[in-house]
Structure 1
């Protein structure tokens, strides 16, 4: 039988299959066992051939392998480790796209050994010819450490060595022989480990914060998270971070330990005395091997690093053929000593992934030394080093018996970790005979460990997070309770911290609501700081303009601006005068035209269930279907509601003939009362100076608008249908055509029952189409338009405007109320100046009329809440406030800026008894003049205007 036949690859399938099993890494994360030593028995040419086959198979898969030749130039353990480290770090030892194994602990140990050898050889000795830059630098360092400046010996030594150690710690990932790779390479090496997970976590936290808290906090969380990831990456390029890795040396049993840290340990290695050189050299060799094994453990430890999971083959160290004097024998003996010495936290041998194969002639002698008795063979010498020492089962005395069980358990655990056998022998010279199955292919890299997967996952998560934050930014304007509607409005509830108009002001001019919202926020914060009991009222109204209005000068937010101003004034006045109870105000935006009234009412209802300090809701200024829905929703919560400017006759009516909501109280007169006065003044010549015989009534045909059609119908009924032409419009363009047609034969009076949003278009067409001298009569609805455009209205010569405001400063003058004065109108100029400056923009003035009625609503609720607080000696509740409003007691009334407030019962819808109805006009000077006052403005001393017969002092 020839050697070629015996050593052909086909005849070696068995040993090749065994080799594949040894180096294949288990797929599951479980306790791994140390791989046994594979001894190939045979002459040198046979073992060298098989070693070559092993190396070829590893390199074909780009698996980690190091081949130590039989005639290696390495003469000591450090030389073997240098060669093994070099070959295991080669590109051919790891797949493309995967990082190569790193050996920072071994590099540091080898560096310390080199310094020690240079010092022992004589620090004055020059570097050898052809020395590398690293070797020359080591010689210079030894000279500086050995001969520091006089007078600063120890500090200088430590400082110089520490400087170099920190630099090496910074470059801990690079190979010493490859030359400096720089901080950028170190940065990129850590980037794959940190960036995908860090960015993904930051993205998830940001998306969750955006969905649950606030967009501002989401951005803040993202900035903090990314800053943390960046700091982590940058920190790992610093020397101090790399030095932290070297703390491992202080936990090793070799060379002793130093309490001063790693720098002290390094100095101890450097300063070893020559008399201790032999023992010190063996201890240092053990340390080198321990560092090599620990580096391998860290490279293969399955933690957050993807590369560790991608390594499916154990690293292989192949000794081609050894004899008794070969350095590989010394290495293997020390290797097993280190494995026995190293223990994990449970006291068991610490498993490393290294697979070792060695070729040895079975007849080779063991050599000299205490480990090789005369006549022993080398193979038996190696086998003794790799055996598992167990108890021989000798009998113990009765006292020592108590420790037998613990010893037995430790031995069993040791066998479990090391295996029952620590070496496998294969005689490669024997002819196996017969055919063997093919060598099984090893498992491939799991797809979850693909190099691109972390980056793909990071991109997907980050993109999802950006999408989530973007959706949140579209869905929510700021805080979670402020939602962005499909039309772009921001609706929700705020304590003043969110500025509704800022969300859409952009480049269109100043924010008219921000100053008053800021004032409310400051006053609410003062309530919280006071620590005193408080009652909360919620204002609900259209706080944003119609998104279709692109010109901010046409937003007509004077009404909302005025109502918020009135709330702020009432709050400041009450909190400044109340000894104990405080008033808190929340603002709920229901959107332009109250489109989101139902949704916001539901939010208020839920909030009231959590916050029992909410005692009432005020506002509801627009008479629309959505307002009715909001009132019905809030009625279910038994929250008292006070309407400010809502004048629809059926406001507050519940479904199925249930009558008016018992919880709704209205400050504005109903349309029937307003129409009665308007028709009377028109017929009697109080409007325009001449009796009106023909009237054209214009109203909005919007099916959701309850106010316009109701007012038009009420006026036509009161005036007399035979003399009234009623025309509706569906859109501003339709209104233009209608007015143009009516101007062909103008009436004595135009009665405008439409909305203020379209009044500008109505007035413009009237001014340029109808003959001069036209008279317009309108309701309080256009008070918002007047607030922004009074000077322009006064300068128009084509028509004269009369309207019926719910309140007016001009009514509180001696001709009407004598010497009576009202706190609100006295304080109003100062309040406007404090929030909007001395000269607010003429098209951004708050509506004084709406400020007055909202002031009345808030002041009345505050007064009642304080009364309940005083009587019950406890924080007021919504039920207590409602009871006081519903049954105030005989003679109870409130003196408001819009008149004396005293309500009827539920059957009449809680209307204000004898509520004042005013007639005002805009003069040529742009000032408002009150022409008529009907109803109880003050209790005594009020002049009586020209009022419908029987309307004074009675409820219509």
Structure 2
């Protein structure tokens, strides 16, 4: 008969196709679905081959499965679970590079069940002869906690049991039944889960932090992230962490009679009732099955673990054949109950990934002793049947509950499925040849075991690259960035020593001592706890990286201005009882190339730090300086220029006039040129009146000072009565300057007027010395005061020419010749300040410019004085607005006496010039000393002697409303 034939594999393609569809895990968009029971109907000779085919297909794919044969069946439900756990987690149940299924909850439940069985067996029960180490340890634990002295001490019993539970919690990822794997295995198991993601996140955070903030914060983020990952790994190797996962038991309706924590639950299972009843045994079996299903859910839950996404086959539990009385029958009945009653954390029916197939003979009775009691297959099907309740009408009060019951039943149907059992008669053959079994879903490519590590390495390498680039771009963690040319620009409180990083200097860096002094004084301000006002110095604090010879760096100007700031800060803080002065240094780079960028940094900092009341510096008249002034003007920050003499400095866009926030200490080029032309025509320069002058200036389009000064001098010299002749020559680089001077020396003029930059003055002086005849006179502006500071002795010894220049300030002007017995406090303190920072006899090429120190001292002292005035009047910390108001309208109080002269500003219409600002003429004597030969303007308020001054070059008009 057809029903008695055993079908071959070619005739079982339909069954195999169904089996593949059952164990195929759908993608995330479809969601995990609970699979129905596949019940194979037929005699053992028919169902066993099919079950073996199922197992072979799983084995060939290295998919998790457990095959429970009829021979040597498990004795009870724990035996079924023990075999299923062992076979599902074996190495052949997963692909290479993927972790095996782990069952920590079931391990703990089985362990407690074993302890319970040992306790029930009594004291005479000893471990069998072939017992494993774990079994012997269990017997030893039971004897230890049930015999004196521990048995009489409840706390001691709890401590001993808690110690073992914590150890098993520590070894949560191991196979606890065959012995703990220990911390190394736990560490490696956790590492597989979290290391790629943790390292990748740390790398991304570090790279992002480095790109958006700075390198120090990037390193801090990396250290914090790696420490956090390390602490997580270490924590997971501790028992208390593993025990936290066992809190799941307390939320189950089986045996958990509100125990005080998991230890109390474990003691409740460990201490059996005097008589073991069937109901209690059933609850324990239900708990074991629930733990088994929960472990499977966690293994397949699609979270951050790659392994859960890589598992595209559900685990399969194959019962080859179930005769009456087989433990598998009881397992299936309890499995159906757990699935019906199970709820997740949100109260919804829980879905597990387990697929179960079972073979059963439809002729087998459910109970052999009672053949009329029904068939076994019907008993199994009845256990899985979904009972949704009857259609009996509800009474009026109960009507309000019908909707909730309907929604609950609907959720159960959605989770469990309308059909819970699929029956297939494997003995029947329709004679139809079916096509091959449809291919099952393949593992997603992104879930490949190597992919997280490849991604981690790629992200980490990218992060290292970003951080390395940032490390090159940043010089320091405090707003200091490295430019493409190698300069370090940005803002510091003195903690970063400009010049050391970029030039490889340490103790020899000429700016380090003064920056160190600023840092100490700023820290003292912070420690005082008193309110303070902050001044930001914006200037070229680094030399051009292209200059390799340190003798040519010409940082005497920046060195002097920083020295003047430290002197003003120390003087004010020592004298003021309440308010303190803080100074920040903002390096705009050589030639102010990065002035706009750094000005934006200052603006952003001023928005966060309201103590910033003014910005001083701006010593070079360049296009970039103008841009910086515009940026800071929009931020309404008062600015005081020290040595910037360009006529249009501070002028905003066309038609907008001068910036109301910019105040200049240096006389404009027009005033300087008028004095220079007068002294040249009257013989105050060179000892004889000049009739021909060669004017040399820079052709750099970004240099506003040089061209403006040359044109102003040319106008002043040629338009005077009986004016002379001017030959203007411009140079683009030092090489052009050498050729220009060589050509001019073939027919030397009466006077060389140098309107170029101090950077090129060495080339000019060298060619002039060796090309022109002796007796030449050279006149220059304050720009070369930086060069004089480093090279005065050499200039004095030159026999070919004599240098005259017009410094903005000089202690040589504070003599009896010009001011009588008056002396200025700055010049009295200056030698001591230099000695305290640079030694009693600093080398000439490391001496700060006294001229620039004087003007920066004046700027800082005046701002500090006004800030203190605002603080006193308003009884509140001074602000930029308050200082600006005092600058713009100083009132009728006394004039501010500075080292560079009397300071009182005109109105905005004149660009906030200093009324009657002194103009000095100095020369370098043969002994290298500087001598001031002329003084015009107001050096002191009264009692001053005036030199030979141009009659038409009067002081600027008094301030007018603007």
Q: What TM-score results when the alignment is normalised by the length of structure 1?
A: 0.87
Q: Provide the residue aligned with 1:547 in structure 2.
A: 545
Contact 2:697 2:731 in 1 (8 A): yes
Cα shift at 1:830: 5.0
Q: 1:671 aligns with which of 669, 672, 692?
A: 669
C-alpha deviation, 1:584, in angstroms = 5.8
d(CA) in 2 for partners of 1:845, 1:614:
30
CA–CA separation in structure 2 for the residues paired with 1:940 and 1:621: 29
Distance 2:184 2:883 in 1: 70
Contact 1:166–1:240 under 8 Å retained in 2: yes
1:364-383 paired onto structure 2 within 5 Å = 364-367=364-367, 374-383=372-381
Q: Does 1:859 align with 2:857?
A: no
* Partner of residue 450 from structure 1, selected from 445, 448, 451: 448
Mapped partners of 2:124, 2:769: distance in 1: 108
Report if the CA contact (8 A) 1:32-1:417 is conserved: no
Give the match's secondary structure for 1:487.
coil
Q: Which residue of 1 aligns with 2:187?
A: 187
Instruction: Give the 5 Å matches for 1:43-442.
Output: 43-121=43-121, 127-147=127-147, 154=154, 157-176=157-176, 181-257=181-257, 259=259, 261-272=261-272, 275-276=275-276, 281-367=281-367, 374-394=372-392, 403-442=401-440
Residues in 1 aligned to 2:795 and 2:126: alpha-carbon distance in whole angstroms: 102
Query: Which residue number corresponds to residue 938 of structure 1?
Result: 940
Deviation at 1:52, TM superposition (A): 1.4
The change in CA–CA distance for 1:179 and 1:943 in structure 2 (over 3 A counts) is same
Secondary structure of the 1:247 match is helix
* Shift, 1:239, TM fit: 2.9
Which of 460, 463, 467 aligns to 1:462? It is 460
Cα pair distance change 1:840/1:333, threshold 3 Å: farther
Any idea what SS the aligned residue of 1:276 has?
Answer: coil
Mark the CA change 1:679 to 1:414 in structure 2 (over 3 Å): closer, same or farther.
closer
Cα deviation, 1:313-355, whole Å, max 9, x if unaligned, reads 2211111011112222222233234334433335454322111
Q: Of the candidates 889, 898, 901, which is equivalent to residue 899 of structure 1?
A: 901
For residues 463 and 4 of structure 1, do their structure 2 counterparts lie closer, same or farther at Cα, with a shift above 3 Å needed? Answer: farther
Moved more, 341-350 or 713-722: 713-722
Contact 2:73/2:327 (<8 A) preserved: no
RMSD of aligned Cα (Å): 4.1
Question: Are residues 660 and 159 of structure 1, via their aligned partners in 2, closer, same or farther at CA, if it must alter by over 3 Å?
Answer: closer
CA contact (8 A) 1:934 1:952 kept: no
The separation in 1 between residues aligned to 2:277 and 2:635, in whole angstroms, is 90
Aligned partner of 2:824 in structure 1 is: 822
Match of 2:701 in 1: 703
Moved more, 251-260 or 216-225: 251-260
Contact 1:212–1:480 (Cα < 8 Å) also in 2:
no
Paired with 2:635 and 2:262, the residues of 1 have a C-alpha distance of 71
Of the three residues 732, 735, 738, the one matched with 2:734 is: 732
Deviation at 1:356, TM superposition (A): 1.1
Q: State the shift of 1:763 in Å.
A: 4.1
Whole-angstrom CA distance in 1 between matches of 2:161 and 2:638: 80
Task: Return closer, same or farther for 1:334/1:663 CA change in 2, 3 Å cut-off.
Answer: closer
What is the CA-CA distance between 1:210 and the residue it aligns to?
A: 2.9
> Residues 833 and 261 (structure 1 numbering): CA distance in 2 closer, same or farther, change over 3 Å?
farther
Stretch deviating more after TM superposition (272-281 or 193-202): 272-281
Is the 8 Å Cα contact of residues 349 and 411 (structure 2) preserved in structure 1?
no
User: What do the CA deviations read for 1:725-776 (whole angstroms, capped 9, x no partner)?
Assistant: 6554332333345556666787776544321212334445556667777665
- C-alpha change, 1:240 and 1:788, in structure 2 (3 Å) is farther
Corresponding residue for residue 36 of structure 1: 36
Contact 2:203 2:460 in 1 (8 A): yes
Unaligned runs of 5+ residues in structure 2 are none
- What does the per-residue CA deviation read over 1:1-45, in whole Å, with 9 as the maximum and x for residues that have no partner? 467965122322332233223222232366755322221111101
Tell me how far 1:87 sits from its aligned partner. Answer: 1.6
After superposition, the Cα gap between the structure-2 partners of 1:316 and 1:904, relative to the gap in structure 1 and judged at 3 Å, is: closer
Give per-residue Cα distances to partners, 1:863-918, cap 9 Å, x unaligned.
55666777788887767766665565679633221112344555654443432222
1:12 maps to what in 2? Answer: 12
Relative to structure 1, is the Cα distance of residues 551 and 178 closer, same or farther in structure 2, using a 3 angstrom cutoff? farther
Deviations along 1:119-172, whole A, 9 cap, x unmatched?
A: 555666664344434344444444444456679855554444444433332322
Q: Counterparts of 1:546 and 1:494 in 2: how far apart (Å)?
A: 19
Paired positions, count: 954
C-alpha deviation, 1:833, in angstroms: 5.6
Structure 1 residues 187 and 919 mapped into 2: Cα distance closer, same or farther (>3 Å)? same
Change (3 A) 1:138 1:773: farther
Cα 1:804–1:136 shift into 2, 3 Å: same
Change (3 A) 1:52 1:954: closer
Tell me, yes or no, if structure 1 residue 564 matches structure 2 residue 562: yes
The residue aligned with 2:815 is 813
Aligned equivalents of 1:769 and 1:908: distance in 2? 43
